Amino acid sequence: MNTSTTTRKPQHLAYKLGTMVGLLGLAVLLLPAYDKFHARGPMNSGHDTLKCESPVIRTRRAVYANKFRLICAMRLAHLRDFY
C-alpha cells in the first residue's frame, strides 16, 4: 500500500469538491426556497392527446442510431455463440 498521502492529496481534494458540488445541486433542487426552478403542473401533461396511430417522425440521426444499435446487437449475438 502507498503510505505517502501527498501523492493522493489532489485526488482526495477532487472527491471532496465533487461531493460538495453534488450536495449543493441536490439542495437547490429539493429545498422549498428554490421552487422557481421546478416545473409547474403535473408530470407528463399533454400525453392524453396523442394517438397510437400518430406517424413517427424519423430523423436521419435516429435512423443511423438504430442501425448502429442493430449492428452492435448482431455482433454481440455472434460473439455469444462462441462462448
Per residue in 18-35, pLDDT (tens digit) is 999 999 999 888 888 878
Mean pLDDT of 11-19: 95
Does the structure show a pLDDT above 80 at 41?
Answer: no
The length of the chain is: 83
